[in-house]
Amino acid sequence: MTETTPPADRRTPAWVKVLLAVSLALNLLVAGIVVGARFGDGPHGHDGRPGPRGGFDPALGPFSRALPEPYRDRALDELRARAGDARANRAALAGQVSEMLSLLRDEPFDAQAMGAVLDAQSAVFAERGEIGRDVVLEQIAAMSPAERAALADRLERGLRRALEGAGR
């Protein structure tokens, strides 16, 4: 009878999982910004007119530009009411990024401290993203079938433009 040694623990460390989650959140944020920007026929938005409130929030993803008025304005108002202004989130994230950069340069590297910063960043993205999802869903549910079909057309055109632009 031969004894075999149990396999080494091959689980991925928690900080790697957190880093991957933050990376995914940042990639989704960038993708939302890129796709949302592609909806504009002009420099200011989907119809060439600047929105009354700037008209874009990454938490709403591509819907931020594709939703027709008044749904877009209601979505932005609701998002700000529930999650606060995006500028406040950016300020919090900027502080976390500064801390992260410092931790990356520290010797020895403190994986637990880095994990805590990445957890905090993930929480900011996740909370605002969940609220954005709920707000978008509420606005879409309030639309007529014709409005939803028009929204689908705008999203499809924007996605097509984004994919064509990515191939350049």
Task: Break the chain into its structural domains and give their ranges.
Answer: 23-47+54-166
In sequence order, which residues have a C-beta less than 8 Å from that of residue 32 and are 6 or more positions away? 58, 60, 61, 62, 64
Instruction: Return the structure tokens found at 89.
Output: 């989130």
Stated pTM of the model: 0.58
Radius of gyration, alpha carbons of the chain: 21
Instruction: Return the structure tokens found at 56.
Output: 């874009």
Residue type present at position 59 = A
Distance of CA 131 to the CA centre of its chain: 11
Q: What is the pLDDT of residues 57-115, one digit of tens each?
A: 888 988 988 999 899 999 999 999 998 877 777 777 788 888 999 999 999 999 999 99
Q: What is the pLDDT of residues 119-155, one digit of tens each?
A: 988 888 888 899 999 999 999 999 999 999 999 999 9
Burial of 160 (0-12, 13-18, 19+ CB in 10 A): exposed
